[in-house]
Amino acid sequence: MIGRSAWLRGLGGAAVSLAVGAGAIYALTHAIKKLDLSHVVAIAESTDPRLIALALALVTISYASVTLYDLLALRTLGRDDVPYRIAALASFTSYPIAHGIGAVALISPVVRYRMYAPYKLGIPDIAGIAVLTGATFWLGNLTALGLSLMLDPDAFSWVGYWPPELNRVVAGVLLAGVASFVIWSWPGRRSSRWPVRLPSGPLVLLQIAIGLFDLGTAALAMYVLIPADLDIELSRLTAVFIAATLLGFASHAPAGIGMFDATILLGLGSDDKEPLLAALLVFRILYHLLPFVIALLLFGGIELWRSARARAASQDHLS
């Protein structure tokens, strides 16, 4: 019965993901159907190299902060023996590869398990890291979304029947929820269903700060690529960027393709969408494609190096 229940939940989740993905593709197709894509590419190619360099620097800083996700999780679990360089490798390889492929819940634990193999982290440890890094991501996103909606309640005015007053209510609920979790977790707690000790209040605040910094630098990287004459405020971009990120996760599509792009174009769109789509294209290359390729090469190189070392050690033992 348990197996059947799990199978039905998985089937339901897959159906929801397919529905979300289909809706995203429809929305994206509708948003760009009248655009001259060759002109979009030309605009992207003419982007100021200094802006691209600045955006790339911000993307690099964002991914550097992502390496702290695993480090904080390891320290919370009491695994002080794992050095930062290994935590950084696990974070940097698992995040771009899992999100680039799309099956985050399946790929990310596998990549982490392989990266932490020399330190004998078992399945419960990897599961604990997944819970804690996920908490860092969600706490940062929800806090940033609440703050941005509080600063710019008109951020979702493009959605019909979505008044600014509702944004203020949503922002208040989100921030109150995060604050309640911080207070509840202040002494440090252990889940009744899972033997994972949750971080204490000060560490939860650190999680929020890391998540905010990661998200903020990523949103800023896209902001510098958007032409100034589109007159898009940073607070509005941040709110739409977070919504696009969360909806992209919900779609389970590779790098949130379709849903992320449609949300950005609809949320920030104006009468002239071609420059916005060009900025989005450049951002996609810098934030998703380039890290994905580097992470794959890094992961494959480490696996090959470890395999070669294992074979050499085996031959030395036989001789």
8-state DSSP, 195: -
Domain annotation covers residue 239:
yes
Report phi then psi at 223, rounded to 5. -60, -40
End-to-end CA distance of the chain: 53
Cβ atoms of residues 268 and 41 within 8 Å: no
d(CA 85, CA 59): 19
Q: Is residue 20 part of a domain?
A: no
* DSSP string computed for 75-141: HHTT-TTS-HHHHHHHHHHHHHHHHHHS-HHHHHHHHHHHHTGGGT--HHHHHHHHHHHHHHHHHHH
Q: Tell me the three state secondary structure of residue 191.
A: coil
In a domain, 32, yes or no: no
Establish if 186 belongs to a structural domain.
yes
Looking at the structure of the chain, the number of domains it has is 1
Instruction: Give domain status of residue 275, yes or no.
Output: yes
Contacts for 50 with CB less than 8 Å, ≥ 6 apart: none
Look at residue 43 and tell me if it is in a domain.
no
| φ, ψ of residue 197 in degrees (nearest 5) | -75, 120
* 144 vs 317: CA distance, rounded Å: 55
Q: What is the pLDDT along the chain (319 residues), one digit of tens a residue?
A: 334 554 455 455 555 556 656 665 665 665 566 667 788 889 899 999 999 999 999 999 999 999 999 999 999 888 999 999 999 999 999 999 998 887 787 889 999 999 998 998 988 899 889 888 988 888 988 998 888 888 888 777 655 556 778 888 888 999 999 999 888 888 766 655 656 677 888 888 998 999 999 999 999 999 999 998 888 888 889 888 988 888 887 777 787 887 888 888 888 876 678 899 899 999 999 999 999 999 999 999 999 998 888 888 777 766 6
- Residue 191 belongs to what domain range? 48-303
Q: How many CA atoms lie within 13 A of 247 on its CB side?
A: 24
Residue 24 within any structural domain of the chain: no
Please report whether residue 3 resides in a domain: no
Judged by DSSP in three states, 61 sits in helix
The pTM of the full predicted model, rounded to 2 decimals, is 0.85
What is the spatial distance between Cα 204 and Cα 198, in angstroms, rounded to a whole number? Answer: 9
